[in-house]
Chains A and B, each alone.
Chain A
């Protein structure tokens, strides 16, 4: 989405910039967005296996007790 207009919309039925209507968020109303992952550095296969992902930006370790 980085190379898109601020509306983020490729829908030809969506008129004009929608930035004001979306409170500063990019994209059109009434749909969900997950930002696309941009490839950057990766961990080794061994470290990726231990952590569950080779992508540092997707690693979200959980510590119990936060809301237990």
Chain B
């Protein structure tokens, strides 16, 4: 179970209405390397982790990714909530508007909907942890591309925070991989 804090993990603001930037940032909501994929991947893989430390790391990081999903949702919504239809059309967000108005939906930057095949749950803890390490690097790279694309210093500030969290998560998954290897060696399971 979870306990909900009625505030964001990191406070956000946006400088101005910017549907063009929203169209790109939304990929970290519903894209292949986004926060929905990250949270569901870790919270699902944890069941087949062989040691309690690994289950705990996946639970903790999966929970934090839910908090990041909320931050990204707040960024996207604040960038589009006051946009006029003309501004939405000019930004190329009119295809999205036709189906969703200014509501949040899980899509990548090109509008493709989230699919479960973005993630794997293999039952093999070594394979799963390597996917998780790669997922953190892909998320870090995506945040760097979004920072390059951002023309809003307030959005960039939040993207920098989220990017640094991926660096920390990579370290934690690496330490978890070492623990699982040590556990497997001690059990002599190969």
Contact = CB atoms under 8 A, between A and B. Distances in A.
A59 B10 CA distance: 17
B174 to A, nearest CB: 2
Given A10-B182, A58-B171, A62-B144, A32 B133 contact: yes
Given A53-B164, A64-B144, A34 B170 contact: yes
B167 A64 contact: no
Contacts of B10: 49
14 contacts: A34-B173, A34-B177, A35-B174, A51-B164, A52-B160, A52-B161, A52-B167, A53-B168, A55-B168, A58-B167, A60-B164, A62-B144, A64-B147, A65-B148
B185 interface: yes
B44 interface: no
B181 interface: yes
Contact of B164 (A13, A34, A61): A61
The 9 closest A-B pairs by CB, nearest first: A34-B174, A52-B164, A10-B185, A64-B148, A52-B161, A11-B185, A68-B148, A60-B167, A53-B168
Interface range on chain A (Cβ under 8 Å from partner): 20 to 34
Contacts of A1: 178
Interface in B147-190: 147-148, 160-165, 167-168, 170-171, 173-175, 177-178, 181-182, 185-186, 188, 190
B130 interface: yes
A31 B185 contact: no
Interface residues of B, number: 28
A12 B161 CA distance: 42
Contacts of B143: 62
B165 A34 contact: no
A37 B186 CA distance: 22
Interface string A1-20: 10000000111110000000
B173 to A, nearest CB: 8
Given A36-B175, A55-B168, A60-B164, 12 more contacts: A1-B178, A10-B181, A11-B181, A33-B177, A34-B173, A35-B174, A36-B178, A37-B171, A52-B165, A52-B167, A52-B168, A62-B147
